[in-house]
Amino acid sequence: MRASLPISLLAATVLTGCASVAIDENFAEVERFARDEAGSEVRWLRSDAEREAMRAEVDRLLAQPLAIDDAVRIALGYSPAFQSLLAEAAVVSADATGSARIGNPVFTFERLFRSGAEGRELDIGRSLGISLFDLLFLPARLEQAEFRQQQTRLQSSIALLSTVTEVRQAWVDAVAARQVARYREEVATAAGTAAELARRMQATGNFSRLQRAREQALAAEETANLIRARQNATAAREALIQRLGLTPSQAQALRLPDQLPALPEAPMDEATTGAALLENRLDVRIARTDLDRTAKSLGLTRVTSVVNGLHVAGVRNSETGESTQRGFEIELPLPLFDFGDAVRAGSEARYLSAFNRTLELANNASSQVRVAYEGYRSAYDLARHYRNEVVPLRQNITEESVLQYNGMLIGVFELLAAARSQSASVVQAIEAERDFWRAEAALKASLLGQPIVPLTLQSGASPAEAGGGH
Amino acid sequence: MTTRRSFLAGAGLLAAAGTVNRTALAALPEPVIQTSAATAAPLTPPNGRPYDPVVTLNGWTAPWRMRNGVKEFHLVAEPVEREIAPGMVARLWGYNGQSPGPTIEVVEGDRVRIFVTNHLPEHTTIHWHGQRLPNGMDGVGGLNQPQIPPGKTFVYEFIARRPGTFMYHPHADEMVQMAMGMMGFWVTHPREAHPHIARVDRDFCFLLNAYDIEPGSYVPKINTMLDFNLWTWNSRAFPGIDTLNVRKGDRVRVRIGNLTMTNHPIHIHGHEFEVTGTDGGPTRPESRWPEVTTDVAVGQMRQIEFIADEEGDWAMHCHKSHHTMNAMGHDVPTMIGVDHRGLVEDIQKLVPDYMLMGERGMADMGEMEMPLPDNTLPMMTGQGPFGAVEMGGMFTVLKVRRDQKPGDYRDPGWFKHPKGTVAYEWAGAGLPEPARSDAAGSSSMPRTGGRQSVEMTVRKPTGHQGH
Ligand SMILES: [Cu+2]
């Protein structure tokens, strides 16, 4: 025993692995996920030099209008929020590594005096003990630890996915809000021009105060809409800045493209996005892992519920004048009061619960994918409808109104009202495109296993109808 | 061109009344289909009692056939396309290819048999406005006869008892059918010299009609009551209306019937005329007075006569100035005197093709050539020898020429004014400002208290900004 004990301790250390190795492995897994599934790269900034380099790279990216993929890169490689997520994952990973280690051996030392007729007696007892349980179940514990590492990796991937989705949506929101604000400005200009014309017409007696007031009221409402739109644009921009984790000076430098990307020629079809990918969903994989672990631990509990206090120690007693005593000491709690049945029942219930949770999750996941696809598809159809039908029709109405105006069949106020409606339809088209890109991000996230609140299409209020000033 | 299958041999025959079957055709005079909106030459009667024919402005006279001493005409009520003026075609209902239908010319005492074939989607009848006839021939659907169902042919037969100026139009769903252009002229010539009916050298006739056709569309809005946008003579609007071309010294008769929903004061420049007849018959000479404008009320006919003794190009028009404008919006605000500085550019940012109009008045319309909606007519158009005539609708020109041959109705071109007979720009010294009184014309109940004057910035018209 003297020789074999340190050997098993050594073996345990090797088997449970070095904590930093596990952390690196987990990060590599997240990196792979980011590359393969999110099409971006992750940087984990662990030194000032790395941070400086990345900061310079971000500055370089910010020199031109920020594309959506660059926004994702900044978020994954630079934003303190995501860096903090990475670090937290490392903490969890380190804990998992630690959890697989055997409890440290216990060394006990007894030194006893006895003064009697025969003189003083010294009794020295030494024992080096280790939890036999720890040792016996080391393979099982290693397995448990590996489960935890795996969970950590999956959780990190989910966090990454969630970051990517949020950044994409924030970028879409920011670009769209800015675009909307610009068109709202056009609408407000049209209304403002009409109001100014009405003011001059009242001044020369061509309009009554009532007619003038109607045009001015319209302009005033459009100004209110413009203020709202500008506020939305600012808020959406700041939301993106927060997700990217930009410094104040970087925030100032941030420029956005003038418009959202063009709609794809055809939408993704349902078959390729459907059930085939369900197996890959991260949440399903987490639930599976969890179920496996529960199952394993159920088996384990059946044994350990009785033997959980088993403790073994090597003993060496030296007593004055006596030859040294050597031997083992085993401690075993008697199952007199706790027969372990409560622990076993609890474990079984946990397994059942995990089992049903997994079932539920799989069903829900499939439903979520369908909802996400429906949302995506409707958003695509709607955006196309606005682009191909509504906006061209409004444009056509303006063009025909010009012809009518040329023939003095309508007045300039009706012409301006048509222009206003046209711009308002463009606003709706932008909002529909924004919804589409949001839905696209949500669908992608949903396919990979991040439940996203399903898309609700906006109830596009029809643009102000040609009111005219008569 | 007129297509006269059974009456006159000629090129350009059109298949007439496609659904009238062969056996029926043997018994019926073939209807003559008109495909042109030009003024046809007068139709000298080839048979029957002689008379001096009329000229229907932008129209024609229906040929007939004599059958056992009866004058037989065939009118086909059908959907037609009528060119209102070059650049605009209306989808109307009419007779024999046009709206209005052909003028029917007969002689007092003629027995007339008119076959009416209905190719409309709904039933119809014809009422012979102003005629003395048997009650059952008067054409009021339901009252005097059953309506003529689609696809059927009815026969009207009566003696043209009274000489004069008449018209025909449906009396079944008449609001719709007249708004769609169903109407025609009827002239009964006197059989012999009549003490109240003079012989004339030129005899023109036209109907006043009005349509509400949304610019860019083709079919009239039949529910419009007063706010029409096309005021026409024989479904033609200036500059699509032909001119009245006469020889100096001619005695000229113009017969006018009003089938619109408002009255039209018809005015001729350069001459006085007398109303020599109404749809009630010739007026007694002692009842006549000289006029230059005669109001033709709704549902009335007026027959005016004058000696065209003043050479020149004389305007002839309805004196309701909106009726000489063509399609226009009646809700368009007045822009006169409104300062557009700084706004034109703003508007052009939103509507790049925008042009400023109306700041000085509406004469811009006559000068600018801007794209209009499809199938509509510009307002205030027509180019005369001195520039834009700025007219549209119920406007044409009476052209009096000494060298116009008798019986020649061709347009002689613009009048050549003798030297010194055209208004000219004053080139002499500046004139003194006339003395003006501001005391005159105080109101009967002067206002006490309150504001005395309305605050207004009056801007004198200046140059034109923005274009
Ligand atoms: Cu009139």
Q: What is the pLDDT of residues A62-103, one digit of tens each?
A: 999 999 999 999 999 999 999 999 998 888 888 888 877 777
Residue whose pair of structure tokens reads 């059953």 in the numeric block: B146
What integer pLDDT is reported at residue A37 of this predicted model? 81
Which domain, by its residues, includes B109? 34-197
Tell me whether residues B346 and A193 touch, CB distance under 8 A.
Answer: yes
CA distance B197 to chain A (A): 45
- Rounded to whole angstroms, how far apart are CA atoms B167 and B207? 8
Q: Are residues B246 and B366 in the same domain?
A: yes
Average pLDDT estimate for A16-42 = 82
Q: Which amino acid is at B120?
A: L
At residue B461 the predicted structure's pLDDT band, cuts being 50, 70 and 90, is low
Question: Residue B151's domain is classified under what CATH number?
Answer: 2.60.40.420
Q: What is the DSSP string of A176-245?
A: HHHHHHHHHHHHHHHHHHHHHHHHHHHHTTSS-HHHHHHHHHHHHHHHHHHHHHHHHHHHHHHHHHHHHT
Q: Are residues B82 and B152 in the same domain?
A: yes
What integer pLDDT is reported at residue B430 of this predicted model? 80
- Rounded to whole angstroms, how far apart are CA atoms A263 and B99? 53
- Rounded to whole angstroms, how far apart are CA atoms B184 and B174? 14
Q: Are residues B190 and B70 in the same domain?
A: yes
B233 CB-near residues (< 8 Å, 6+ apart): B57, B58, B206, B207, B208, B209, B241, B394, B396
What integer pLDDT is reported at residue A461 of this predicted model? 43
Q: Are residues B190 and B213 in the same domain?
A: no
Torsion of CA B48, B53, B57, B61, to 10 degrees: 10
On whether the CB atoms of residues B350 and A416 are closer than 8 A, the answer is yes
What integer pLDDT is reported at residue A264 of this predicted model? 95
At residue B105 the predicted structure's pLDDT band, cuts being 50, 70 and 90, is very high
> Smallest Cα–Cα separation from B116: which of B104, B108, B106?
B104
Cα separations in angstroms, A286 against A147, A149, A257, A275, B74 = 10, 11, 38, 18, 91
> Nearest Cβ partner of B371 from A204, A398, A406?
A406
In a domain, B411, yes or no: no
pLDDT at B462 over 70: no
- Rounded to whole angstroms, how far apart are CA atoms A233 and A317? 80
Q: Are residues B249 and B166 in the same domain?
A: no
Around Cβ A354, how many Cβ atoms within 10 Å?
Answer: 20
At residue B16 the predicted structure's pLDDT band, cuts being 50, 70 and 90, is very low
Chain B (186-215) residues lying within 8 Å, Cβ to Cβ, of chain A = 215
3 state DSSP class of B111: strand
Q: pLDDT (tens digit, 9 = 90+) per residue, A131-171?
A: 777 777 777 778 778 888 888 888 888 889 999 999 999 99
When comparing pLDDT for A106 and B412, which is higher? B412
What integer pLDDT is reported at residue A243 of this predicted model? 95
Tokens of A196: 């100014």
Tell me whether residues B346 and A206 touch, CB distance under 8 A.
Answer: no
Q: What angle do CA A153, A155, A159 make, to 5 degrees?
A: 115
- Rounded to whole angstroms, how far apart are CA atoms A249 and A59? 10
Residue whose pair of structure tokens reads 């493209």 in the numeric block: A257
Query: Which residue(s) pair with A311 in the sheet?
Result: A331
Cα separations in angstroms, B215 against A21, A366, A396, A402, B196 = 81, 56, 15, 13, 45
On whether the CB atoms of residues A154 and A448 are closer than 8 A, the answer is no
B296 CA from centroid of ligand 1 (Å): 9
When comparing pLDDT for A150 and A385, which is higher? A385
- Rounded to whole angstroms, how far apart are CA atoms B105 and B255? 13
Q: Where are the domains of chain A?
A: 271-304+351-456
Most confident of A154-158, A329-333, B67-71: B67-71
B335 interface with A at CB cutoff 8 Å: yes
What integer pLDDT is reported at residue A1 of this predicted model? 39
pLDDT at A204 over 70: yes
- Which residues of chain A neighbour B368 with C-beta distances below 8 Å? 406
Most confident of A312-321, A333-342, B88-97, B430-439: B88-97
Q: Are residues B186 and B237 in the same domain?
A: no
On whether the CB atoms of residues B133 and B106 are closer than 8 A, the answer is no
Element (H, E) at A138: helix A138-203
3 state DSSP class of B234: coil
Nearest CA in chain A to B328: A409
In a domain, B83, yes or no: yes
On whether the CB atoms of residues B100 and B131 are closer than 8 A, the answer is no
B260 CA from centroid of ligand 1 (Å): 9
B369 interface with A at CB cutoff 8 Å: no
At residue A314 the predicted structure's pLDDT band, cuts being 50, 70 and 90, is confident
Q: pLDDT (tens digit, 9 = 90+) per residue, B237-275?
A: 999 999 999 999 999 999 999 999 999 999 999 999 999
Torsion of CA A154, A155, A161, A167, to 10 degrees: -160
pLDDT at A469 over 50: no
CA distance A214 to chain B (A): 14
Of A105-109, A265-269, A392-396, B326-330, which gets the smallest average pLDDT? Answer: A105-109
CA distance A203 to chain B (A): 6
Of A111-125, A407-421, B36-50, B433-447, which gets the smallest average pLDDT? Answer: B433-447
Cα separations in angstroms, A167 against A239, A371, B115, B236 = 9, 21, 82, 67
At residue B350 the predicted structure's pLDDT band, cuts being 50, 70 and 90, is confident
CA distance A466 to chain B (A): 14
Greatest distance between any 2 Cα atoms in chain B: 86
- Rounded to whole angstroms, how far apart are CA atoms A271 and A343? 46
The percentage of residues in chain A with a pLDDT greater than 90, rounded to a whole number, is 45
Residues listed for chain A: 470
Element (H, E) at A98: helix A80-99
Q: Which amino acid is at A416?
A: L
Q: Are residues B42 and B145 in the same domain?
A: yes
Tokens of B234: 């024989």
What integer pLDDT is reported at residue A223 of this predicted model? 96
When comparing pLDDT for A387 and A322, which is higher? A387
Tell me whether residues B347 and A193 touch, CB distance under 8 A.
Answer: yes
When comparing pLDDT for A60 and B362, which is higher? A60
Average pLDDT estimate for B317-344 = 92
On whether the CB atoms of residues A383 and A263 are closer than 8 A, the answer is yes
Query: Which residue(s) pair with B159 in the sheet?
Result: B111
pTM, two decimal places: 0.80
At residue B22 the predicted structure's pLDDT band, cuts being 50, 70 and 90, is very low
SS3 content of chain B, % helix, strand, coil (to 5): 5, 35, 60
Tell me whether residues A412 and B353 touch, CB distance under 8 A.
Answer: no
Cα separations in angstroms, B312 against A113, B249, B292, B318, B442 = 155, 12, 16, 19, 44
What integer pLDDT is reported at residue B5 of this predicted model? 40
Cα separations in angstroms, B266 against A414, A434, B166, B256 = 35, 63, 18, 9
B344 interface with A at CB cutoff 8 Å: no
- Which residues of chain B neighbour A404 with C-beta distances below 8 Å? 215-216, 329, 373
CB pairs under 8 A between A and B: 119
At residue B304 the predicted structure's pLDDT band, cuts being 50, 70 and 90, is very high
Q: Are residues B387 and B281 in the same domain?
A: yes
- Which residues of chain A neighbour B376 with C-beta distances below 8 Å? 407, 409
Q: Which amino acid is at A27?
A: F
| Structural domains in chain B (count) | 2
Of A276-285, B40-49, B256-265, which gets the smallest average pLDDT? Answer: A276-285
3 state DSSP class of B453: coil
Element (H, E) at A151: helix A138-203
At residue A34 the predicted structure's pLDDT band, cuts being 50, 70 and 90, is confident
- Which residues of chain A neighbour B332 with C-beta distances below 8 Å? 408-411, 470
Is the bond preceding B45 in cis, omega lying within 30 degrees of 0? no
- Which residues of chain A neighbour B348 with C-beta distances below 8 Å? none
Average pLDDT estimate for B180-200 = 96
On whether the CB atoms of residues B160 and B131 are closer than 8 A, the answer is yes
B274 CA from centroid of ligand 1 (Å): 19
Q: Which amino acid is at B69?
A: G
- Counting DSSP H helices and E strands in chain B, the numbers are 4, 25
| Mean pLDDT score across all residues of chain A | 84
pLDDT at A345 over 90: no
Tell me whether residues B343 and A190 touch, CB distance under 8 A.
Answer: no
In a domain, B417, yes or no: no
Burial of B432 by CB count in 10 Å (0-12 exposed, 13-18 middle, 19+ buried)? exposed
On whether the CB atoms of residues A362 and A283 are closer than 8 A, the answer is no
**Most B CBs within 10 Å, among A395, A405, A415, to test the B interface:** A405
- Rounded to whole angstroms, how far apart are CA atoms A452 and A447? 10
On whether the CB atoms of residues A15 and A9 are closer than 8 A, the answer is no
3 state DSSP class of B345: helix
What integer pLDDT is reported at residue B432 of this predicted model? 81
Q: Are residues B258 and B129 in the same domain?
A: no
pLDDT at B420 over 90: yes
What integer pLDDT is reported at residue A76 of this predicted model? 94
- Counting DSSP H helices and E strands in chain A, the numbers are 14, 4
At residue B465 the predicted structure's pLDDT band, cuts being 50, 70 and 90, is very low
pLDDT at A452 over 80: no
What integer pLDDT is reported at residue B441 of this predicted model? 61
- Rounded to whole angstroms, how far apart are CA atoms A44 and A31? 10
| Mean pLDDT score across all residues of chain B | 89
Name the DSSP class of B285.
Answer: G
CA distance B324 to chain A (A): 15
In a domain, B133, yes or no: yes
pLDDT at A17 over 70: no
Of A116-125, A302-311, B200-209, which gets the smallest average pLDDT? Answer: A302-311
B283 CA from centroid of ligand 1 (Å): 23
3 state DSSP class of B58: coil
Of A60-74, A321-335, B144-158, B318-332, which gets the smallest average pLDDT? Answer: A321-335
pLDDT at A11 over 80: no
What integer pLDDT is reported at residue A3 of this predicted model? 43
What integer pLDDT is reported at residue B466 of this predicted model? 42
